[in-house]
Amino acid sequence: MIHIKTQADHDKYTKMARTDRDGFWREASASFFWRKAPKLISQGKLGEKVTWFEDSLLNLSENCLDRHMASKANQTALIWEPNSPDAPSRSFTYRELKREVEVFANTLKKLGVKKGDRVVIYMAMIPELMFSVLACARIGAVHCVVFAGFSAKSLSARIEDSGAEFIIISSGAARGAKCIPLKGIVDDALMMSPRVKTCLAIKHTDEALSMKTPRDVWYHEASIGVSDSCEAVSVSGEDPLFILYTSGSTGKPKGLLHTTAGYMVYAEYTFRNVFQVQQGDLFWCTADLGWITGHTYLTYGPLLSGATTLMFEGIPTWPDASRFWQVIDRHQVTHFYTAPTAIRTLEAFGLTPFTGVALDSLKVLGSVGEPINEEAWQWYFENVGRSRVPIVDTWWQTETGGIMISTLAGVTPALPTFATLPLPGVEPVLLNSDGKEVATQAGEGALCIKEPWPGMARTVFGDWQRYQDTYLKAYPGYYFTGDGAKRDDHGNYRITGRIDDIIIVSGHNIGTAEVEDALDLHPSVVESAVVGYSHPVKGQGIHGFLICSDPSIDRDKLKSELLTLVTRELGPIAKPERFQVVAGLPKTRSGKIMRRILRKIAEAETKDFGDVSTLLNPEIVDQILKAEIF
Ligand code: PRX
């Protein structure tokens, strides 16, 4: 285990990781329960297949649960706060959580799930979601959590890609005043994916459901009489742990595959050192388990460290905008980790929601998912942190498995809008347009990583070529993050945003191609292009440019049909904010859309479009500028 407690430790470990990388990660891996301890630490270079702790044997759920039985069996592992503040919360000690996971694991086994099988999970934010993930890990099945805001089509695409024959769902999901009928969405998805043989359903919300036998099985029935003792299976270090889908530059879902030992070591190392959680603290990560943040910092990081984690089912603005602050006071949360979009949403409600809340339990605040602007940072610091609590701005990705660049709470200094320094063991570089490393301390460029790290995704599930093309080809020998960044003359990094075809809306990654594919399905849309633009609350909004067969088409009707279409195809998170009907799109002679120009137009810029000499149709820019926005 590595615990960095001072700036001097930070310097020491940064140096050690550079001179003796394997020694550094060996030390980080020391406190786990290995059924066979690793002799091999890392193998392979960026650009080829990389492995970590490959010769080891272990079980991740055993490391999250059984390992703590001697000293923490009666300590609370999980507190669940429901959507409604009037409903009771639930809590589980480490011993109780272990028992729930073992019953769940035995139920999965009884229903035929085996080591290596992929299990898709599509659920509300309830404790059973965490049980199901840990149960998969216990029996060596590969969990594949799909955020329960995705459409039936997106869910089906993920089922198909993962090859899963087993899905775990909850009957519905309560989100604020809304109740989302998940079972209905799943039924639609399974019509498209008949490969699924078993759908295990947790009863959560109250709507009437139709269960299709023998496919659909209730958990409360299937688990009757099941033993509460389930031996954890041994898996090898590089056996797959989970697949998590993220957006890419084509519409096809991109399933990042994370493997067991490296992910475990990295989740624990980053959780411990970034957040500096101590005995008795309560860690609250607001992310849904359908995203990587929910995997690493709601579930695995806290449990591996023996911390107490809080899971929240609801939303920040219901029943009112004081909900987060009430939860912090009620449970005495010490560490609060959320996204800039939530901060900006709450900022818009002013200071009234803070009336009567103390927030004096807080010790550390965190931010993740997108760049945090200075104003939101200050608001968070002053009103939530009462100008006394350190903020960690943590930069990382689904692909990196855990935090890569961040302040360490109370150890290294924060700097508003900067993620600051890489964690020891992480080697970021900035590359210029010639693909050369920016040699000066201060500079700007494409953010890349120079050395492998244990938490890195190993491949795109079933598509190593796509992994190489996306991450390893742009700058040979480096991992390309897709982000741009600046570095100041003290080595602090500031992430400036995506430089590829991804738009981050309210912290959710959305690929331009998948939205365009959905828009193009409309019978009147001949071609479309979408770009991101600065949005005061969502960070970025989506602006769509449409070439229509009938340019005089009714705008209101078109917009409403397009929004329905995007919701059906992808889910409500991918809905564009606004559109323009245009006569053409700016294209290069090779037929590529020049998004750079569209981005400027979406940002309401009217001049300085840079070099347009390679455009096939430069006159189109003026026409687009005149087109109505609706
Ligand atoms: O653009 C960066 C942004 O989110 C992207 C990764 O998104 P995802 O895979 O969904 O993972 C989100 C949670 C880790 C990054 O490429 N991003 C994430 N954290 C930050 C950030 N941008 C700026 N500052 C951050 N702290």
Surface-to-core class of residue 503, CB atoms within 10 Å of its CB (0-12 exposed, 13-18 middle, 19+ buried): buried
φ, ψ of residue 443 to 5 degrees: the values are 175, -175
The mean pLDDT value for 388-404 works out to 98
- The 3-class SS string of 501-524 reads CEEEECCEEEEHHHHHHHHCCCCC
Contact 256, 246 (CB under 8 A): yes
Supply the Cα-derived Rg of the chain in whole angstroms.
24
Question: How many angstroms is it from 372 CA to the middle of ligand 1?
Answer: 11
The amino acid at 311: M
pLDDT at 251: 73
Answer yes or no: is pLDDT of 208 > 80.
no
Question: How many angstroms is it from 398 CA to the middle of ligand 1?
Answer: 8
Helix and strand totals (H; E) in the chain: 20, 30
Question: Can you tell me the distance from the alpha carbon of 94 to that of 85, in angstroms, rounded to the nearest whole number?
Answer: 25
Contact 398, 243 (CB under 8 A): no
The distance of Cα 305 from the centroid of its chain, to the nearest Å, equals: 20
Query: Does residue 301 have its Cβ closer than 6 Å to ligand 1?
Result: no
Query: Does residue 370 have its Cβ closer than 6 Å to ligand 1?
Result: yes
Per the model's pLDDT, the better-predicted residue between 555 and 590 turns out to be 555
Question: How many angstroms is it from 244 CA to the middle of ligand 1?
Answer: 15
In sequence order, which residues have a C-beta less than 8 Å from that of residue 331 and are 6 or more positions away?
A: 79, 81, 89, 282, 284, 310
- Testing ligand 1's pocket by substitution, the residue of 380, 395, 499, 501 carrying the most ligand atoms inside 8 A of its CB is 395
pLDDT in tens, 432-487: 989 999 999 999 999 999 999 999 999 999 999 999 999 999 999 999 999 999 99
Tell me the pLDDT band of 588, cut-offs 50, 70 and 90.
confident
Answer yes or no: is pLDDT of 283 > 80.
yes
Answer yes or no: is pLDDT of 613 > 90.
no
Tell me the pLDDT band of 500, cut-offs 50, 70 and 90.
confident
Query: Does residue 394 have its Cβ closer than 6 Å to ligand 1?
Result: yes
pLDDT at 591: 78
pLDDT at 97: 98
The mean pLDDT value for 143-162 works out to 96
Tell me the pLDDT band of 610, cut-offs 50, 70 and 90.
confident
Query: Does residue 395 have its Cβ closer than 6 Å to ligand 1?
Result: yes
pLDDT at 607: 84
pLDDT in tens, 226-274: 999 999 999 999 999 999 999 877 778 899 999 999 999 999 999 999 9
214: preceding bond cis by omega (within 30 degrees): yes
pLDDT in tens, 100-128: 999 999 999 999 999 999 999 999 999 99
pLDDT at 244: 98
Answer yes or no: is pLDDT of 596 > 90.
no
Query: Does residue 400 have its Cβ closer than 6 Å to ligand 1?
Result: no
pLDDT at 253: 84
Answer yes or no: is pLDDT of 340 > 90.
yes
Most confident of the ranges 306-315, 505-514, 606-615? 306-315
Query: Does residue 196 have its Cβ closer than 6 Å to ligand 1?
Result: no
Question: Can you tell me the distance from the alpha carbon of 269 to that of 262, in angstroms, rounded to the nearest whole number?
Answer: 11
Question: How many angstroms is it from 370 CA to the middle of ligand 1?
Answer: 5
pLDDT at 616: 86
pLDDT at 122: 98
Question: How many angstroms is it from 368 CA to the middle of ligand 1?
Answer: 6
Query: Does residue 187 have its Cβ closer than 6 Å to ligand 1?
Result: no
pLDDT at 43: 98
Indicate the average pLDDT of the chain.
96
pLDDT at 38: 98
Surface-to-core class of residue 606, CB atoms within 10 Å of its CB (0-12 exposed, 13-18 middle, 19+ buried): exposed
Answer yes or no: is pLDDT of 567 > 80.
yes
Query: Does residue 54 have its Cβ closer than 6 Å to ligand 1?
Result: no
Nearest atom (ligand 1) to Cα of 371: 23
Question: Can you tell me the distance from the alpha carbon of 320 to that of 592, in angstroms, rounded to the nearest whole number?
Answer: 46
Answer yes or no: is pLDDT of 379 > 90.
yes
Select from 219, 147, 209 the least CA-distant residue to 183.
209
Q: What percent of the chain has pLDDT over 90?
A: 93
Question: Can you tell me the distance from the alpha carbon of 203 to that of 220, in angstroms, rounded to the nearest whole number?
Answer: 8
The mean pLDDT value for 307-331 works out to 98
The distance of Cα 464 from the centroid of its chain, to the nearest Å, equals: 21
- pTM to 2 decimal places: 0.95
CA 539, 293, 376, 443 torsion: positive or negative?
negative
Per the model's pLDDT, the better-predicted residue between 170 and 205 turns out to be 170
pLDDT at 169: 98
* Three-class DSSP category at 315: coil
Tell me the pLDDT band of 203, cut-offs 50, 70 and 90.
very high
Contact 549, 522 (CB under 8 A): no
Question: How many angstroms is it from 470 CA to the middle of ligand 1?
Answer: 16
Query: Does residue 481 have its Cβ closer than 6 Å to ligand 1?
Result: yes
Question: Can you tell me the distance from the alpha carbon of 600 to that of 607, in angstroms, rounded to the nearest whole number?
Answer: 9
The mean pLDDT value for 391-417 works out to 98
Select from 457, 452, 392, 402 the least CA-distant residue to 428.
452
pLDDT in tens, 157-183: 999 999 999 999 999 999 999 999 999
Q: Which of 46-50, 489-493, 592-596 has the weakest average pLDDT?
A: 592-596
Query: Does residue 447 have its Cβ closer than 6 Å to ligand 1?
Result: no
First to last CA, the chain: 55
Question: Can you tell me the distance from the alpha carbon of 429 to that of 485, in angstroms, rounded to the nearest whole number?
Answer: 9
Query: Does residue 288 have its Cβ closer than 6 Å to ligand 1?
Result: no
Query: Does residue 368 have its Cβ closer than 6 Å to ligand 1?
Result: yes
Select from 536, 465, 452 the least CA-distant residue to 259.
452
